[in-house]
């Protein structure tokens, strides 16, 4: 073996050993959940501590006047309200600081946005059924997801920007000044100055 390859192997071995001894920092890692019936529950996925984001995948049918449908590969049956049981799993993940998102689209299905009006209707449906809005037919019960992931692999490339803009209009800007003024999301001044603002400054 040449000296060069021996040095390369030694370097690789040293890096691997340092990673094992120091532990691997999994911050910022996302996973798609819901497309493999053998992958374990959502709560089990979050309990691994490996992920900061879990994208629930997918509603493969929406837009173009279609009744939205979610397909979670046997984890639950959306048509019989069987997915409302995921509410406690979603809340368990969020209690661990994990952001739980809904991933739109995927590689199979029938989804398309035909106009800006269609995008607005889909945004309203997503807000009321998966995010912070109100609906009698919320597929995941009273759990409110943290956001929407776009995994658009089919249809056209039209009106996705419109959908994102309409969804962003539902977001609240600013921070509540007191716990009494906030339904949720109040951040104490000490946490704001010691944790939030320094993190924003880094960005």
What is the distance between the alpha carbons of residues 169 and 5, in angstroms, rounded to a whole number?
Answer: 56
Task: Give the active site residue among 39, 44, 153, 180.
Answer: 153
Told to judge if 180 belongs to the known catalytic residues of this protein, a careful annotator would answer no
- Kindly report the three-state secondary structure assignment for every residue of 2-55: CHHHHHHHHHHHHHHHHHHHHCCCCCCCEEEECCCCCCCCHHHHHHCCCCCEEE
Element (H, E) at 148: strand 147-152
Cβ-based neighbours of 114, under 8 Å, separated by 6 or more:
63, 64, 65, 158, 159
* Token couple for 20: 């094992």
Q: Which residues participate in catalysis according to the annotation?
A: 153
């Amino acid at each position: 073996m040449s000296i060069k390859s021996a040095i390369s192997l030694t370097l690789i071995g040293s890096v691997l050993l340092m990673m094992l001894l120091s532990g691997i920092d999994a911050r910022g890692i996302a996973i798609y959940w819901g497309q493999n019936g053998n992958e374990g529950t959502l709560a089990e996925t979050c309990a691994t501590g490996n992920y900061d984001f879990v994208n629930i995948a997918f509603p493969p049918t929406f837009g173009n006047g279609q009744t939205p449908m979610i397909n979670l590969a046997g984890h639950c049956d959306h048509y019989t309200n069987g997915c409302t049981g995921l509410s406690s799993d979603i809340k368990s993940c969020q209690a661990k600081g994990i952001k739980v998102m809904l991933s739109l689209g995927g590689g199979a299905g029938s989804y398309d946005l035909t106009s800006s009006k269609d995008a607005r209707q889909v945004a309203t449906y997503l807000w009321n059924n998966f995010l912070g809005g109100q609906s009698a037919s919320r597929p995941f019960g009273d759990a409110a997801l943290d956001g929407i992931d776009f995994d658009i692999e089919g249809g056209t490339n039209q009106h996705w920007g419109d959908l994102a803009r309409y969804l962003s209009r539902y977001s609240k800007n600013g921070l509540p000044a007191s716990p009494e003024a906030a339904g949720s999301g109040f951040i104490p001044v000490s946490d704001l100055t010691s944790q939030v603002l320094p993190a924003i400054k880094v960005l």
